[in-house]
Amino acid sequence: MSEATSARGDAAGSVEPEPAAGIAKRPSYRRILLKLSGEALLGSRQYGVDPNFCDFIAAQVAEVHSTGIEIGIVVGGGNIFRGLAAAAKGMDRATGDYIGMLATVMNALALQDAIERAGVPTRVMSAIGMNEIAEPYIRRRAVRHLEKGRVIILAAGTGNPYFTTDTAAALRAVEIGAEIILKATKVDGVYDSDPLTNPEAKRYERLTYSQVLAQRLRVLDATAVSLCMENDTPIVVFDLNKPENITRVAAGESVGTLITGGSPA
């Protein structure tokens, strides 16, 4: 501790604690919405949920929570079932989407268990009624949970077929007053083409909503991007697999690609 810090502590009668390593002293955001794909929970598996990777996510959520940031989470279900893929093989689209919503609830429960084992009280709220395992999603109740210091996991998408969990994330972010959406992916931002198949793909540092829509960049669906644009909700797209990335983004560090209504860099 420096002499200046010590002097401030003496003058106030107490010493101000140092911030945790890797975390900004004053959080950049008051309330965030973390969007996780179902595939993110696969970890090293081909199907289902990897408990170790859930613990990896939970540890970062707990660290962000310890700074006072309020956290909402929307999780997909693609690691278990994808309604759109089933519809392509002949299943009724609405039926496939409803099965996918149930998959998101399964993922939400697994994530809730991991986060609570990390020491953070967590509530699962479902857009489809299933009172024995999850609370119904009620906006005012969700906000109250956040104000009480609980993490909320918002499951079952919007509760309606034909809407993706990206759209659900945008909708819930606007409803609960989140200041930013953290979109966790398998790559470190938004590229002009698939970086997994094109080694020459260019990564963007900043984009506008209009650019994402005009260039049809497949980072979120158009409905989600349009909803964020209408409500001026910024989005950060980042690599979930790098340790501490959730923590770094929540602390306001420049990580991944930022999508806003302003001018691109």
Is residue 110 a part of any domain in this protein?
Answer: yes
Lookup: tokens for 252: 């306001």
Secondary structure (H, E, C), the chain: CCHHHHHHHHHHCCCCCCCCCCCCCCCCCCEEEEEECHHHHHCCCCCCCCHHHHHHHHHHHHHHHCCCCEEEEEECCCCCCCHHHHHHCCCCHHHHHHHHHHHHHHHHHHHHHHHHHCCCCEEEEECCCCCCCCEECCHHHHHHHHHCCCEEEEECCCCCCCCCHHHHHHHHHHHHCCCEEEEEECCCCEECCCCCCCCCCCEECEEEHHHHHHCCCECECHHHHHHHHHHCCCEEEEECCCCCHHHHHHCCCCCCEEEECCCCC
Is residue 167 a part of any domain in this protein?
Answer: yes
**Span 22-63, pLDDT tens digits:** 444 456 899 999 999 998 899 888 899 999 999 999 999 999
In the prediction, which pLDDT does 95 show?
A: 94
In the prediction, which pLDDT does 88 show?
A: 78
Is residue 8 a part of any domain in this protein?
Answer: no
Q: Are strands 203-204 and 190-191 parallel, antiparallel or unpaired?
A: antiparallel
Q: What average pLDDT does range 80-96 have in this prediction?
A: 85
Whether 92 shows a pLDDT value over 60: the answer reads yes
In the prediction, which pLDDT does 19 show?
A: 45
In the prediction, which pLDDT does 86 show?
A: 79
Which of 70, 230, 100 minimizes the C-alpha distance to 163? Answer: 100
Is residue 248 a part of any domain in this protein?
Answer: yes
Cα(210)–Cα(198) distance, integer angstroms: 24
Q: What average pLDDT does range 87-100 have in this prediction?
A: 89
Is residue 1 a part of any domain in this protein?
Answer: no
Whether 162 shows a pLDDT value over 80: the answer reads yes
Is residue 14 a part of any domain in this protein?
Answer: no
- With a CB cutoff of 8 Å and minimum separation 6, the contacts of 190 are 203, 204, 207, 212, 217, 219, 237, 256, 257, 259
In the prediction, which pLDDT does 7 show?
A: 41
In the prediction, which pLDDT does 263 show?
A: 63
The share of the chain scoring above pLDDT 70, in percent, equals 89
In the prediction, which pLDDT does 43 show?
A: 86
In the prediction, which pLDDT does 265 show?
A: 53
Mean residue pLDDT of the chain comes to 88
Is residue 16 a part of any domain in this protein?
Answer: no
Q: What average pLDDT does range 189-205 have in this prediction?
A: 88
In the prediction, which pLDDT does 255 show?
A: 93
In the prediction, which pLDDT does 40 show?
A: 87
Whether 8 shows a pLDDT value over 80: the answer reads no
Q: Which domain holds residue 196?
A: 26-260
Q: End-to-end CA distance of the chain, in Å?
A: 38
In the prediction, which pLDDT does 27 show?
A: 66
| Residue 188: CATH number of its domain | 3.40.1160.10
| pLDDT grade for 87, boundaries at 50, 70 and 90 | confident
Domain total in the chain: 1
Is residue 150 a part of any domain in this protein?
Answer: yes
In the prediction, which pLDDT does 21 show?
A: 47
Whether 115 shows a pLDDT value over 90: the answer reads yes
In the prediction, which pLDDT does 249 show?
A: 93
**Span 218-264, pLDDT tens digits:** 888 999 999 999 999 999 999 999 999 999 999 989 999 999 997 65
- Inter-residue contact 34 to 246 (CB < 8 Å): yes
In the prediction, which pLDDT does 219 show?
A: 85
Higher pLDDT, 78 or 171: 171
